[in-house]
A and B are shown apart, each in its own frame.
Chain A
């Protein structure tokens, strides 16, 4: 018993020592960042930008790239302000919502508690829907770089710099019609994003083009999609594997690559044309970490998709060069949008002249109207959503040993037509 008591006491001492060590490490680290020279002298006016961009959960792969887009904007703005002799600086507070509604709420509340008046993010429609009441109640502006659900359109404190899914669905269906595809098998994530695209696409194909649509909605919480692939194969088989049948994949990186890896081994699915949502145009699908067979499958099936990216311009080129130089990697498509969201937040604060949610909200539409950024112009509609967008068409190509998303044309919003390059 005495020995047991001694062991318990010694365990408690070890635990106490480790806890003290943890506290010391945290305190030391925070003290270092608090006390180190920042380069800004007295009289500096600091405005805080909340960055609520998930870097874990479903956004573990792409979230950090989007976060860096916002960080780059803040760093560049500070450099410009310093060069201009201004005493204004922007600080950032980045929080990880983990891609869930409850996480988004908790982190948004933490930002509000810290006195933040404008937040870049969150990313998904479910997250934005969850924080919208808090944004209204606390009169804090939220600028989402990638929430695209049409259901969220409301005159509130939430702005969205990416076009909603209705644009993408229109672009996809116009292309399908132009290519003579009338039978579409949709393989989509069973979440707000996947359902949004699938619902809109199905509605347009069936009601306007008289085509047929079959949907396979897969759960994002399972790592095995073999059953879903089996169902998809059956659905495609009922359509036939002619040129009038195609698969539309609405997926993120991990699930998308796993699905493609299974699909390439299926004779039926390997015999039809594949299309992808804008989320399939992420670097992970064709970079060195993706299986060679999957990349070859994408080229072989001529996987084609859209992205609401601005055509190449000096602004876009400068962003891409700076991003590469700062982080040593290319930006993912939505990094362009998080860059613009952060820029709009800062420009609105500067335009308003006060750090206040109401003032920022009132000037933001006007700031957007005169802003052309890495993802194009930012004209908002009456709901604070991106009013209109053209979509670039891309497909996966292989040049020697290099895989790329090669752009081949543009879907024009104004005319609902496709202009090939």
Chain B
């Protein structure tokens, strides 16, 4: 959640400052009038908003990775739950700071007016959904790239090293693996991705409010991973998909599309929360490893003619730290 919010703040601060200046706005950069000025400038200057979007992605990823590397220093001393609690606490401190220090990111109301990078796709014959579709395509593309990279990393010797550190850090240490560097590397890579995700969310939401980056966001992502299956990318993807589908397709507007208008005395929104919670409890009870349990590492046949087993055992060149 913390690293995700870092990406969002980077995008918001970049847009609020740089785009405002380019748009000729000299007043308070976070409110509605500034947002309107930025929006109009972005419509007229597609190259600028696309460039800022790409810049925000790079900066957001870099900032997420840098903070991830910083966070790895306490990780040298902490393990498991204690590390998670520490990172959540850091996230809360940063949220409270951004919330309280208004000049940084607009405080309680936040930064309004982060234009969709495709806001210039507009015209009398173009539906407003065109902007959304274009942006969705970009988000999906970046997701696929991240997934491919993570999959490749997991199936590389580095992925096996990660599993060994997870399963028994002491053994990995004894075998000469530099487990501290491994933790730092994985926190940096994972949080760079989280930073990119934060940037993508900021341009989707078109506003950044510190109050959104609360621990529940972390727990929602955790619930997706637990539901789908921890320690495998397909499981995480399936968990996110299932939870999102269940959430979205039980919403009153979706039912309304099917011609169903809920006017029962019992609020449908409360029923949804109960049903989703129940679903998670049932999965944890009956499929504690998730819908897709962790499988063996898929070792591709090496090109130098060695057996897959030998390569998996780490014989020969290694990319591990």
Contact = CB atoms under 8 A, between A and B. Distances in A.
- Pair from one complex: yes
B320 interface: no
A195 interface: yes
Contacts of A48: 256, 261
B22 interface: no
A191 B95 CA distance: 12
Given A11-B287, A15-B283, A95-B251, A149 B109 contact: yes
A370 interface: no
A100 B109 contact: no
A102 B28 CA distance: 23
B110 A55 contact: no
A102 B275 CA distance: 21
Contacts of B214: 100, 221
Given A105-B205, A110-B248, A138-B128, A191 B211 contact: yes
Contacts of A114: 253-254, 256-257
A362 B125 CA distance: 22
B128 A55 contact: no
Interface in A100-153: 100-102, 105, 107, 110-111, 113-116, 125-126, 129-130, 132-134, 136-139, 149, 151-153
Contacts of B28: 151
Interface string A183-215: 000000011101100000000000000000000
A156 B258 CA distance: 31
B36 interface: yes
Nearest to A75: B263
Chain B interface residue number, banded: 35 or more
A359 interface: no
A103 to B, nearest CB: 8
Contact of B108 (A91, A96, A153, A195): A195
A101 B205 contact: yes
B252 A33 contact: no
A329 to B, nearest CB: 13
Contacts of A315: none
Contacts of A136: 39
A24 interface: no
A79 interface: no
A217 B32 contact: no
Given A33-B261, A94-B252, A12 B269 contact: no
15 contacts: A11-B286, A14-B286, A15-B287, A33-B262, A67-B267, A93-B253, A100-B209, A100-B211, A100-B212, A115-B257, A116-B253, A126-B209, A153-B32, A190-B99, A195-B107
